[in-house]
Amino acid sequence: MKKSSVKVLLVIVLLLLVLFVSNPEKNNFLDWAVRKATGPDSTELEEFFGGVVARPLLNVATTRENYYLFSIFRVTSGGEDSLYIGFLRYIFIQIR
């Protein structure tokens, strides 16, 4: 094997290892969703109620599918599903 092939393989293995170790849990998604819902310019009262009210509701409405390198989070509300892909513990992208 050439030196460059070994380096590329090593980088790929390290990237896969980082993705595996930093695969987000349901709590990471709930924290992100509550922060997103309250917004940066919300008052302390809104943040309090967002954490006290929204978090338990989201916890019930959210399911996680673990794919080891990333996770898919499904939020069901009002008969509609929203799908989010999560990776690197803090990155969540809505896919539907």
Which tens digits make up the pLDDT trace of 33-52? 988 877 777 677 776 766 77
Q: 84: exposed, middle or buried (C-beta count within 10 Å: 0-12, 13-18, 19+)? A: buried
Contacts 24+ apart (CB under 8 A), 33-40: 33/58, 33/62, 33/75, 33/92, 34/58
Query: What is this structure's pTM?
Result: 0.84
- pLDDT for res 59: 93
Could you give the CA distance from residue 60 to residue 23 in angstroms, rounded to a whole number? 21
Query: Does pLDDT of 80 surpass 70?
Result: yes
**Cβ neighbour number for residue 28 with a 10 Å cutoff:** 19
Domain locations in the chain as residue ranges: 3-94
Amino acid at 37: A
